[in-house]
Amino acid sequence: SAPPAPTNTGPYCEGATIQLNVGASATYTWGGPNSFIDNSQNPTIATSSLSSAGVYTVAVTDANGCINAATTNVVVNPLPQPIAGSNSPICLNNPINLTSNGGTGYAWTGPLAYVSGLQNPTIANAQLNMSGNYTVTVTSAQGCTNTAVTTVSVYALPSPTIVTNSPVCDGGQLTLNGTGGATYQWNGPNSFTDSNQNASINPVTMAANGTYTLIAS
């Protein structure tokens, strides 16, 4: 009988279903990697692995009982191993910097219908509702895809308040009380600085007149 002409629908990406095909005959015996044996005309191998790649042989028997065999080579390409990251946590109004690696093509999706085709995109002026999971789909040179996720947290800015006993008389004690943060930095006239939540100047002089700034973190 004429030799069969087996084919496959590859190359495949790791995890895809391998489809083997051969022309019609009376009986079929397929053999291949991983001790693969099948007697159907067009067998499939679900969830292929890299070890599924290789030469598959089919022996066919025609109606006259004649046997012939041929091979088809199956290629299984690995999935990319993407890495996703960000500069999270991020304070309100600062840029979100997303980073990725592991392939030749990149496609990002995220909150608020965010999309980008850049490998390392930047989102200016982060808002609270931009917090969440950002997913990058990475494509390899062989056209295989895989995904990675990075979680972004956008934090609200603190709301510092200042209470002072001003006006105060020369020679008295000026008190500066702050709230709204975890750490504090005071700056003011006459090179005044203090990193306590509640600062004071005692005795106070006329050089202390002016504006005092509290930075709360």
Compute φ and ψ for 128, nearest 5 degrees. -60, -35
DSSP H or E segment with residue 50: none
Please, which residues bridge with residue 148 across strands? Answer: 136
Residues of the chain with pLDDT under 50: none
Within a 10 A sphere around the Cβ of 201, how many other Cβ atoms? Answer: 20
Q: Are 69 and 41 in contact (CB under 8 A)?
A: no
Q: Are 198 and 177 in contact (CB under 8 A)?
A: yes
pLDDT at 70: 97
Residue 180's Cβ-count burial label (10 Å; 0-12, 13-18, 19+) is middle
pLDDT at 3: 86
Strand order in the sheet with 114-116: 114-116, 105-110, 132-139, 145-152
Tokens 């972004």 identify what position?
A: 152
pLDDT at 1: 64
Whole-number Å distance between alpha carbons of 40 and 154: 57
Within a 10 A sphere around the Cβ of 119, how many other Cβ atoms? Answer: 17
DSSP H or E segment with residue 66: none
pLDDT at 2: 77
Tens-place pLDDT, residues 7-33: 999 999 999 999 999 999 999 999 999
Tell me the two tokens of residue 10.
């590859």
Tell me the two tokens of residue 95.
């840029």
Tens-place pLDDT, residues 189-216: 999 999 999 999 999 999 999 999 999 9
3-state secondary structure 188-209: ECCCEEECCCEEEECCCCHHHC
- Name the residue among 178, 194, 180 with its Cα closest to residue 208: 194
Q: Are 146 and 82 in contact (CB under 8 A)?
A: yes
Rounded-to-10 torsion of CA 212, 213, 214, 217: -170
On the question of a cis peptide bond just before residue 3, with omega within 30 degrees of 0, the verdict is: no
